[in-house]
Amino acid sequence: MDNLARVFSIEEYKNKMQLERQVAERNDGELSTEEMFRIMMKRMDKLEEQAESRKPKTNKKNKAEHTGVVEQKKEYSKNIIKNIDQIDLIRDTFLKNARGRYRVSNLKNRLYVSCQLYTALRCSDVLTLRFCDFLDELDLDNDIIKFKDKLVISEIKTREHNPNRHVFINKAIKDDILMYLNVNKNVKLDSYIFSSKSVNSKDEDSKPMSINAVNSMLDKVGKRAGLDFKITSHCLRRTSCYHLYMQNGQSNRTLHLIQSMLNHSSERQTLVYLGFDEEEQKEAYLNLNLQKGCKDDI
């Protein structure tokens, strides 16, 4: 019988022993041990079914209430760098660490931050960029570098609805590209800007960095800069949109522009993405004036 034993709770084990005694007394030992065990197991299965049916059915909500674990509402504003000084601190940290064999990699990482901050592209799209996306000509031997006016890119996530997005190239990006090319001559026009290969690698079939590698790099530079929050690639994109809105008068037109850039379905969704809480949203809506003259004249 030991080979057929199950694991029961204390209460179930007591019931099992009681049934075993009842079966033995009723049959006065006329039944074999195997037959006794079969009868006992049938009764135990019935008891288990009854016990299971009496258990209260719980869903995720009352389970959370029972355990005291309640899912917290996501706080979007924590993932936005609203302080311009902190942005400068991050970019300057790359320059401070751009020494020796880490010189090229740190300038490349600084260029990544600039590209995402000044284009508001997703990390997956930034990593696909090549020098030919920014430059018309590149001849480092003869010091010929000719920039394009704008970047034309088909975003991976939204290319079905918006095949081409046009982004004008900010001076900050141009400056960081020139700084990077000044120390890394081993690039071509069709080279990935954020290649995963080492600087001295001769592998022509290089691939872009991974998103995990980018986020790891950003987390490290945030800690070196002494920031008390974690930086991610998504944080940089939201930071870009936030300052685009704030530095253009927080107008309804700018909000619509950002909404279109992000392919959001509503202004409210865009405001939440920009890190505005409910009170700030309320203030923005109430202060919006699309009529001629001042509000006081209405």
Predicted confidence (pLDDT) per residue in 47-77, tens digit: 666 666 665 555 544 443 433 333 333 444 4
For the stretch 267-278, pLDDT in tens is 888 988 888 876
Put simply, whether the predicted model's pTM sits higher than 0.75 gets the answer no
- Mean pLDDT across 206-221: 92
DSSP designation for 100: G
pLDDT reading at 189 higher than 80: yes
Residues whose CB is less than 8 angstroms from the CB of residue 139 and which lie 6 or more positions away in sequence, other chains included: 145
Q: Please report the pLDDT score of residue 4 as a whole number.
A: 41
Q: Please report the pLDDT score of residue 18 as a whole number.
A: 66
The domain spanning residue 134 has which CATH number? 1.10.443.10
More confident of the two residues 60 and 117: 117
What is the three-class DSSP state of 201? coil
Do 146 and 190 share a domain, yes or no?
A: yes
Do 211 and 255 share a domain, yes or no?
A: no
Q: Please report the pLDDT score of residue 172 as a whole number.
A: 94
For 4-36, give the DSSP string: G-----HHHHHHHHHHHHHHHHHHTT-S-HHHH
Do 176 and 206 share a domain, yes or no?
A: yes
Percent of the chain clearing pLDDT 90 (strictly above): 37
Q: Please report the pLDDT score of residue 59 as a whole number.
A: 54
Do 280 and 186 share a domain, yes or no?
A: no
Q: Please report the pLDDT score of residue 76 as a whole number.
A: 43
Rounded-to-integer distance, Cα 129 and Cα 222, Å: 24
Asked whether residue 260 is assigned to any structural domain, the reply reads yes
For the stretch 146-161, pLDDT in tens is 999 999 988 888 777 7
pLDDT reading at 282 higher than 50: yes
The total number of structural domains in the chain stands at 3
Asked whether residue 113 is assigned to any structural domain, the reply reads yes
- Residue ending a domain, choose from 196, 227, 258: 227
pLDDT reading at 129 higher than 80: yes
More confident of the two residues 114 and 285: 114
Do 178 and 146 share a domain, yes or no?
A: yes
What is the three-class DSSP state of 40? helix
Do 35 and 113 share a domain, yes or no?
A: no
Beta bridge partners of 135: 147
pLDDT reading at 115 higher than 90: yes
- Mean pLDDT across 173-183: 94
Range of the domain at 271: 248-290
Task: Look at 42-56, 134-148, 218-232, 256-270 and tell me which has the smallest mean pLDDT.
Answer: 42-56
Asked whether residue 72 is assigned to any structural domain, the reply reads no
Do 86 and 214 share a domain, yes or no?
A: yes
Q: What is the residue-averaged pLDDT of the chain?
A: 78
- Residue ending a domain, choose from 227, 256, 274: 227
- Mean pLDDT across 158-180: 87
Asked whether residue 63 is assigned to any structural domain, the reply reads no
Do 108 and 188 share a domain, yes or no?
A: yes
Do 255 and 219 share a domain, yes or no?
A: no
Asked whether residue 75 is assigned to any structural domain, the reply reads no
For the stretch 20-50, pLDDT in tens is 666 555 555 555 556 666 666 666 667 666 6
Asked whether residue 125 is assigned to any structural domain, the reply reads yes
Do 171 and 259 share a domain, yes or no?
A: no
Asked whether residue 65 is assigned to any structural domain, the reply reads no
Q: Please report the pLDDT score of residue 48 as a whole number.
A: 65
What is the three-class DSSP state of 137? strand
Do 32 and 159 share a domain, yes or no?
A: no
Residues whose CB is less than 8 angstroms from the CB of residue 170 and which lie 6 or more positions away in sequence, other chains included: 114, 118, 119
Structure tokens at 38: 């079969």
Do 158 and 277 share a domain, yes or no?
A: no
Asked whether residue 151 is assigned to any structural domain, the reply reads yes
